[in-house]
């Protein structure tokens, strides 16, 4: 068992604890989707990201309810395939030095599932992630840090550890960090699991 197996087990464990109602996660992950039961590890080449260096050094201000998952992510950083979803000319200069995600579960992820996708996403401080959309329905679960989430049709909301927000299929949404970075677990369900986010025109 390596760091990726441990990370996947830690995510699934958090999902089960949510179901048991042993903490205030209970309204989040299970309501969106039960944990996948068809996971298969596949070989995915590692790919580095500048943001991983910042994330690896993040060991302050953690929430005790999610610190185990935070540390499991850091322990797996040398094995993950970081992705960026956008071209460098689509976002502000410097954005890609402080942003990245990897597909833990999904069609091209470290573990495959036909049931849902799960990503780990990191954004550094003082970043604006502009409005974008995608076909799959989405749940953001904040692991560490905080950010302001906006989505068409509802007021902005500032979210911290264990809090979550839902985006419907094709609903435009954006995110802004302040003085803190943010580390998130992002779940996709429904149609479009092999799709990608698209920036709003």
CB of 141 to Fe ion, least distance (A): 13
CB of 31 to Fe ion, least distance (A): 18
- Segment (H or E) for 52: helix 50-56
Q: Which is closer to Fe ion, CB of 138 or CB of 146?
A: 138
The pair phi, psi for residue 90, each rounded to 5°, is: -90, -20
CA distance 111 to 121: 16
CB of 78 to Fe ion, least distance (A): 26
SS3 91: coil
Residue with smallest beta-carbon separation from Fe ion: 138
- Nearest one of 96, 77, 93, 62 to 4, comparing CA atoms: 77
CB of 132 to Fe ion, least distance (A): 6
Q: Which is closer to Fe ion, CB of 103 or CB of 138?
A: 138
The pair phi, psi for residue 110, each rounded to 5°, is: -65, -25
Both structure tokens of 160: 């911290």
Q: Which is closer to Fe ion, CB of 20 or CB of 200?
A: 200
Q: Are 120 and 101 in contact (CB under 8 A)?
A: yes
Binding site for Fe ion (CB under 5 A): 138
Q: Which is closer to Fe ion, CB of 178 or CB of 197?
A: 197
């Amino acid at each position: 068992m390596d760091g990726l197996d441990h990370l996947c087990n830690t995510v699934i464990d958090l999902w089960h604890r949510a179901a048991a109602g042993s903490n205030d996660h209970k309204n989040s992950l299970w309501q969106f989707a039960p944990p996948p039961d068809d996971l298969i590890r596949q070989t995915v080449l590692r790919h580095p990201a500048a943001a991983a260096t910042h994330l690896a050094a993040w060991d302050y201000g953690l929430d005790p309810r999610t610190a185990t998952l935070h540390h499991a992510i850091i322990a797996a950083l040398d094995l993950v395939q970081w992705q960026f979803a956008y071209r460098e000319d689509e976002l502000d200069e410097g954005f890609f030095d402080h942003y990245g995600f990897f597909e833990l579960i999904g069609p091209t992820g470290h573990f495959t599932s036909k049931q849902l996708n799960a990503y780990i996403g990191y954004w550094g401080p003082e970043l604006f992630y502009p409005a974008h959309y995608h076909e799959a329905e989405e749940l953001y679960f904040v692991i560490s840090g905080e950010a302001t989430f906006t989505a068409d049709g509802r007021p902005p909301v500032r979210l911290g550890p264990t809090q979550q927000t839902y985006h419907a299929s094709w609903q435009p949404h954006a995110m802004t960090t302040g003085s803190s970075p943010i580390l998130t677990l992002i779940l996709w369900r429904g149609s479009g699991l092999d799709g990608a986010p698209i920036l709003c025109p």
